[in-house]
Amino acid sequence: MTFPVYRIDGWQSYAEEQMGSKRKIWFRSSGTPECPDGEEYLFKYPREGFGEDWAEKAAAEVAETMQIPHAEVELATFMGQKGTISKSFMSSDQENLYHGNQLLELFLPEYDTQKNFGQSDHTYQRIVNIIGSLGASAASPMLSVLDDDSGIACLAGYLTLDALIGNSDRHHENWALIVTFSREEDLPAVSRVKLAPTFDHASSLGRELSDERRLMLLNDVEKARSYYEHCPSRIYWNETDARPLHPAELVRRAAEQSPAAFAPWLDRAAKIDDRMIDEMFSSFPPGWISSPALAFAKAFIGMARGELAEIHRSIVQ
**pLDDT tens per residue across span 26-64:** 999 986 767 777 889 999 999 888 899 999 999 999 999
66, 87, 108 - which closes a domain:
87
- What's the CATH number where 66 sits? 3.30.200
Residue 39 sits in the same domain as residue 116: no
Mean pLDDT calculated for residue range 256-282: 95
User: How many structural domains compose the chain?
Assistant: 2
In this structure, are 235 and 286 located in the same domain? yes
CA angle 285, 286, 288 (to 5 degrees): 70
pLDDT higher than 60, residue 125:
yes
260 and 135 part of one domain: yes
- Weakest-pLDDT range from 10-19, 207-216, 286-295: 10-19
Could you tell me the pLDDT band of residue 95, with boundaries at 50, 70 and 90?
Answer: confident
Range with the lowest mean pLDDT among 48-52, 118-122, 153-157, 248-252?
48-52
Q: What is the pLDDT, as a whole number, of residue 169?
A: 93
267/144 same-domain check: yes
pLDDT of 147 higher than 60: yes
Strand order in the sheet with 95-99: 95-99, 176-182, 189-195
> Per-residue DSSP letters for the chain?
-PPPEEE-TTSEEEEE--SSSS-EEEEE--SBTTB-TT-EEEEEPPPTT--HHHHHHHHHHHHHHTT--B--EEEEEETTEEEEEEE----STTEEEEEHHHHHHHH-TT--TT--SS-TT-BHHHHHHHHHHTT-B-S-GGGGGSS--BHHHHHHHHHHHHHHHT-----TTS-EEEEEEE-SSSS-EEEEEEEPPB----S-TTTTS-HHHHHHHHT-HHHHHHHHHT---S-BSSTT-SSPPPHHHHHHHHHHH-HHHHHHHHHHHHT--HHHHHHHHTTSPTTSS-HHHHHHHHHHHHHHHHHHHHHHHHHH-
**One domain for residues 309 and 181:** yes
Per DSSP, the residues of 186-236 read SS-EEEEEEEPPB----S-TTTTS-HHHHHHHHT-HHHHHHHHHT---S-B
Could you tell me the pLDDT band of residue 146, with boundaries at 50, 70 and 90?
Answer: confident
Question: For a pLDDT cut of 70, what percent of the chain falls above it?
Answer: 94
| pLDDT at site 143 | 65
In a shared domain, residues 57 and 31: yes
Q: What's the pLDDT tens digit per position in 153-204?
A: 999 999 999 999 999 999 999 999 999 877 665 556 667 899 999 999 999 9
Confidence of residue 145 (pLDDT cuts 50, 70, 90): low
Average pLDDT on 243-259 reads 97
From 34, 61, 87, the end of a domain falls on 87
- Split at pLDDT 50, 70, 90, the class of 23 is confident
Q: Do 23 and 151 fall into the same domain?
A: no
Q: What are phi and psi of 5, to 5 degrees?
A: -120, 120
How large is the angle between the packed helices 151-165 and 259-270, nearest 10 degrees?
40
Query: The pTM is what?
Result: 0.94
Mean pLDDT of 271-295: 95
**Is 149 in the same domain as 76?**
no
The domain in which residue 49 lies consists of 5-87
How large is the average pLDDT for residues 263-278?
A: 94
Residues 25 and 101 in one domain: no
pLDDT at 20: 65
Residues 117 and 189 in one domain: yes
β partners of residue 95 = 180
Residue 185: what pLDDT?
Answer: 59
Instruction: Evaluate whether 84 touches 294 at the Cβ level (below 8 Å).
Output: no
Mean pLDDT of the chain: 91
Q: What is the CATH number of the domain that holds 247?
A: 1.10.1070.20
196: Cβ contacts below 8 Å, ≥ 6 apart: 89, 97, 139, 175, 176, 177, 178
Residue 270 and residue 163 in one domain: yes
Cβ atoms of 168 and 245 within 8 Å: the answer is no
Q: State the pLDDT at residue 265.
A: 96
- The predicted pLDDT at position 18 comes to 66
| Model pLDDT for residues 279-290, shown as the tens digit of each residue | 999 999 999 999
Same structural domain for residues 51 and 180?
no
What average pLDDT score do residues 243-272 get?
96
- Give the end of a domain, one of 42, 68, 87: 87
Region 123-135 average pLDDT: 96
